[in-house]
Amino acid sequence: MMNYLIKGARPLGGEPADILVEDGRIAAVGDSLDATGAEVVEATGLIALPGLVDLHTHLREPGREDAETVETGSRAAALGGFTAVHAMANTDPVADTAGVVEQVWRLGQEAGLVDVVPVGAVTVGLGGERLAELGAMADSAARVRIFSDDGHCVADPALMRRALEYVKAFDGVVAQHAEEPRLTAGAQMHEGDRSAKLGLTGWPAAAEEGIIARDVLLAEHVGARLHVCHVSTAGSVEILRWAKSRGVQVTAEVTPHHLLLTDACAESYDPVFKVNPPLRTDRDVEALRAGLADGTIDAVGTDHAPHAVEDKESEWAQARPGMLGLEQALSVVIETMVEPGRLDWAGVADRMSVRPAAIGRLDGHGRPIAPGEPANLVLVDPAARATVDPAALASRSRNSPYAGRELPGRVVATFLRGVPTVLDGKATR
């Protein structure tokens, strides 16, 4: 195994230091380290962060390998600075048994680019009627700790309560896609002035907020952990702030696209901007940024949702919801949070690595950059700027909402347990 001397990087944006990586671990952090025989990675001007952890990735395998595979999605993740991603359960077949989650986990191991951590479905077939084999998935080789019917809401409150009670036995968490389906039938975009003007059926903020309010009360009642996926409204942030002040064990994530884009994008009728939950208003975006800054929102989760051309490049009404996120997530966070001074680099490490790793109960990720720790690291050039070209992405799909947009920050290198998966901004395999 090759050893590496990362020279002159700034851990969490602090003073420059050398980082010596030996046998997959950080052996030393300090000035002018002697590292005879180690490969030198010149990192002057680069920020060193713990490898990023995504709570919310759609890898599409098994079932839709034309849109993404575990390998292509893993490569996109590594290029985005991630060392671990949670793979959502809405595959075909659905990841609702020990067999399917082990298959996804094994494919991730074979690709070897990031740790692929399967999410287990809450209900059989995402059907919302019967609990899946949660315990068997938790006990499997995939060690599932996050359970979600994402794409669908666990709408039945009695079933949601039972799921919350069940996962307590193995310190699991239910990650809810908060959407009251009877309020969003036929919805095409955020319900407000713009949907009225465009004549598109609206998705009201209350459909998200009502479920979050219900679920934090259920989580409090049964004393279980709840995680809220892709929070998108100002009202949701208020409910989470209230719940946390009461001591409810609730965590939440926001997507990069909800931090940057608004429902004004729908005026283009370009289906690349169709997503669930929909892009909201300027006021919501401001509340999400404030919530991420003050920690009410714990984490950034990409909701990376690759779609094949025929599912996305159609009329708005027919297009599948969802957009790519892994390769530009860090750049969007730099643009919306770091450059405006709302989050420093330690804050980025916290919201994109430390807290997501803790929510997923992952070992070896989200750790300090310190001797003895596993060398899961990313080196970022904060001064670089680039225009996003979908054709250049590693993802098998092309539905990036950032096409043609200039964004700051470039991932120069990513290390997974001391092995570079990205060097000089390029995937190593």
Catalytic residues: 303
Residue number with the shortest CB distance to Zn ion? 177
CA distance 386 to 388: 6
CA distance 32 to 263: 51
Q: Site residues (CB under 5 A) for Zn ion?
A: 150, 177
Structure tokens at 177: 């896609």
Q: Report helix, strand or coil for 371.
A: coil
Minimum CB–partner distance for residue 237 and Zn ion (Å): 17
- Cβ–Cβ contacts within 10 Å for residue 282, how many? 10
When computed from its CA atoms, the radius of gyration of the chain, rounded to whole angstroms, is 21
Minimum CB–partner distance for residue 229 and Zn ion (Å): 5
Structure tokens at 44: 């002057």
Minimum CB–partner distance for residue 177 and Zn ion (Å): 4
Using the Cα atoms of residue 161, residue 215, residue 117 and residue 399 in order, give the sign of their dihedral. positive
Minimum CB–partner distance for residue 151 and Zn ion (Å): 6
Minimum CB–partner distance for residue 230 and Zn ion (Å): 6
| Nearest one of 205, 293, 224, 207 to 254, comparing CA atoms | 293
Nearer residue to Zn ion within complex by CB, 177 or 307: 177
Nearer residue to Zn ion within complex by CB, 90 or 414: 90
Cβ-based neighbours of 6, under 8 Å, separated by 6 or more: 18, 19, 20, 21, 41, 43, 48, 377, 379, 413
Nearer residue to Zn ion within complex by CB, 149 or 191: 149
Alpha helices of 202-301 — where are they, by DSSP H?
Answer: 205-222, 234-245, 256-260, 282-294
Nearer residue to Zn ion within complex by CB, 150 or 209: 150
Structure tokens at 43: 């990192």
C-alpha 162: how far from chain center: 26
Minimum CB–partner distance for residue 333 and Zn ion (Å): 19
Nearer residue to Zn ion within complex by CB, 83 or 232: 232
Helix, strand, coil percentages in the chain from 3-state DSSP, rounded to 5: 35, 25, 45
